[in-house]
Amino acid sequence: MYDAVLDPYCYPGTTVLKNLAGLHDQAALDAFEAVMAAQRSDEPLPHGRLSASHYRSIHRHLFQDVFAWAGRYRTVRISKDGSAFCYPENIAREMTQVFASLKQRRFLKALSADEFATAAAAFLSTLNAIHPFREGNGRTQTIFLNLLAAGAGHPLHLERLDPQAFLEAMIASFKGNEAPLERQVRALIRLS
Tell me the CATH number at 53. Answer: 1.10.3290.10
Residues 138-142: contacts with CB within 8 Å, 24+ apart?
138/167, 138/170, 139/37, 139/41, 139/62, 140/55, 140/58, 140/59, 140/62, 142/166
Task: Characterize 154-178 residue by residue with b for buried, 16 or more Cβ atoms within 10 angstroms of its Cβ, and e for exposed.
Answer: bebeeeeeeeeebeebbbbbbeeeb
Q: What pLDDT does residue 1 have?
A: 54
- Report how far apart the first and last C-alpha atoms of the chain are (Å, whole number): 39
Host domain of residue 37: 3-188
Q: 189 to each of 151, 182, 183, how far by Cα in Å?
A: 13, 11, 10
Question: Can you give the pLDDT of all 192 residues of the chain as single tens digits?
Answer: 555 557 999 999 999 999 999 999 999 999 999 999 999 999 999 999 999 999 999 999 999 999 999 999 999 999 988 889 999 999 999 999 999 999 999 999 999 999 999 999 999 999 999 999 999 999 999 999 999 999 999 999 999 999 999 999 999 999 999 999 999 999 999 775
**Whole-prediction pTM:** 0.94
Which pLDDT belongs to residue 5?
Answer: 57
Query: Which candidate, 170, 150, 74, places its Cα nearest to that of 107?
Result: 150
Domain count, the chain: 1
